[in-house]
Structure 1
């Protein structure tokens, strides 16, 4: 019996050591979808700006309203970003079906598209904001405030724990999962087909089976990422907040996938289709989570340990073209 306990302790120490690497994201939470177990965790309760992760909430509220997705939305001058002065390839005056506007907001994270969805919500922007507040309450996101639909405002704030709830809810909308996992798509703008790409370069990358994706960035929020992935036969939702660089965010996601597959972490560099890139090597370290169960709408707390996951072959999901 003592030998078994000693062997189990060594295995636990080995698992934690494998993931005692510097993570570039300041807040991290990874939850196994089927069981609710916390797999990895770091500052999951910190309330921080969430940038364009906001657009997942915007999309859910728009879809809940069951508006005509074929209705044309004309992009208005009021949809232009005057806060951060972000660029957009969607010109003022363009008339685009609501379905395509939703595609642009989710896949390409276009701010004018997200703003126009809120502006054309039944009852206008005030009604949209009220619907967002109701949705936040319904999901039990007790540490979340969302004041506008794009995420440009630093007043849109949440925690990794709350955002896992939002991501898991969004994963039940096929309209959202399809659009956020498109690597690229053509959208007709002013009678011209324009190609737009996903802001998450992991979508469509070899070895990645992604069921939901959304990136975010502002100066206040840093580089953020929400993904639902499948690895080693397990489905997990990850939230990464406030990474200092895109490369650090990508490396964090890669290490999480490696953890799910029972592999050792990578540090320093991560490969991509267009070549290698440097990743952050500084900052606090993160170790394996406890494996405790996160109940629906429950606040996630910190610190725990996990049983290592057996390595299995990752199957690349066929995406919609």
Structure 2
């Protein structure tokens, strides 16, 4: 092809491209004119979104945003779940992976499930904390101030008792046993004669005295998963706590108020069964951390019998209460039945 012809061809191609480009621009302009406030989003990658919109004057505005990435943590398994204890079947179909129900007077075992398994016990720890504080006969009207040392660095849990709050020792004991206040429990251990290390040592010594050979404490709140015990051992602890008048009174208190400066703080029990007319509870304590699951211990009277109940590592938020209710109904239904009828009743209750 001659140079002149080639030049002409290039000119025609360029003109065609220009025409197409102009046509595209006109179409875009027309689109903008027809929808002056249109908006659409365009993904520019996994975490980038570009929003294209036009203002009233037809000006196109492009805003590029990076989406924040929210990582949802996988639910942490409890020690009981990791050990496969939840696969254990029982006649009442309890959701607790370890449980024990005994007659307090005769020591007869009415129900047991993985009762020798050693597991974290969460705030059930505070029963031992309360017993030691009361048995030391420390002045309950002595003022104790919450310090930075009492702030939870284990789990990062919150508290309405701010650093600098000053309450009487008896008030802190009430909050620790009734509403499971962690800073209150830690302050009780920290201000024990000899300090926190001495207090923890005394906790373990008391456990040995009670025959709690599967039990170990490392701090007074239960926030640490290293505070561990078995249902068998905790039955011994509940039995001892039930003979302590102060612990009995405070653990079964439904609510309590404390004055902090110009504020009045209302606290409530962590165990709603305390307020139930269907229950006659002498001593109780709840507990929860992820490693321990939902826990509950009680001394109660059912069908004329004083019973000690221990439920560890229950799977759901309300399942420890449901387990206790199921056991109560079973005891009420079977206390005058023959062993064969007891089995039938248990199967019926498990099917509720």
TM range (shorter): 0.7 to 0.9
Shifted more, 124-133 versus 111-120: the winner is 124-133
SS in 2 for 1:261: helix
Hey, what's the Cα distance between the residues in 2 that align with 1:197 and 1:79?
Answer: 21
Q: How much has 1:208 moved relative to structure 2?
A: 1.1
Q: What corresponds to 1:221 in structure 2?
A: 292
SS in 1 for 2:274: coil
- Poorly superposed stretches of 4+, deviation over 4 Å: none
Match of 1:238 among 283, 286, 309: 309
- The answer to which structure, 1 or 2, has the higher relative contact order (CA under 8 A, 6+ apart) is 1
Match of 1:139 among 210, 231, 235: 210
Q: Does 1:205 align with 2:276?
A: yes
Match of 1:128 among 199, 220, 223: 199
Q: Does 1:89 align with 2:160?
A: yes
Greater fraction of residues in helix: 2
Q: How does 1:167-182 map to 2 (within 5 A)?
A: 167-182=238-253
Q: What corresponds to 2:122 in structure 1?
A: 51
Q: What corresponds to 1:276 in structure 2?
A: none
Q: What corresponds to 1:103 in structure 2?
A: 174
Hey, what's the Cα distance between the residues in 2 that align with 1:210 and 1:71?
Answer: 30
Aligned residues between the structures: 252
Q: How much has 1:263 moved relative to structure 2?
A: 5.7
TM-score (norm 2): 0.69
Q: Alignment RMSD, CA only?
A: 2.0
Hey, what's the Cα distance between the residues in 2 that align with 1:150 and 1:43?
Answer: 24
SS in 2 for 1:144: coil
Q: What corresponds to 2:135 in structure 1?
A: 64
Hey, what's the Cα distance between the residues in 1 that align with 2:190 and 2:108?
Answer: 38
Hey, what's the Cα distance between the residues in 2 that align with 1:26 and 1:48?
Answer: 10
Structure 1 residues 307 and 37, CA, compared in 2 at 3 Å: closer, same or farther?
Answer: farther
Q: How much has 1:92 moved relative to structure 2?
A: 1.2
SS in 1 for 2:154: coil
Q: Which runs of 5+ in 1 are unaligned?
A: 1-18, 265-305, 312-321
SS in 1 for 2:97: strand
Hey, what's the Cα distance between the residues in 2 that align with 1:92 and 1:174?
Answer: 30
Q: Is the Cα contact below 8 Å between 2:129 and 2:203 reproduced in 1?
A: yes
Q: Which runs of 5+ in 2 are unaligned?
A: 1-89, 343-352
Q: Is the Cα contact below 8 Å between 2:92 and 2:327 reproduced in 1?
A: no
Hey, what's the Cα distance between the residues in 1 that align with 2:204 and 2:302?
Answer: 34
Max radius of gyration: which structure? 2
Q: How does 1:158-169 map to 2 (within 5 A)?
A: 158-169=229-240
Match of 1:112 among 160, 183, 187: 183
Q: Is the Cα contact below 8 Å between 1:221 and 1:242 reproduced in 2?
A: yes
Q: How does 1:287-298 map to 2 (within 5 A)?
A: none
Match of 1:79 among 150, 155, 163: 150
Hey, what's the Cα distance between the residues in 2 that align with 1:179 and 1:128?
Answer: 21
Q: Is the Cα contact below 8 Å between 1:234 and 1:260 reproduced in 2?
A: no
SS in 2 for 1:56: helix
Hey, what's the Cα distance between the residues in 2 that align with 1:76 and 1:228?
Answer: 34
Query: CA offsets per residue over residues 226-260 of structure 1, 9 Å max, x none?
Result: 01111111110100000011221111000111122
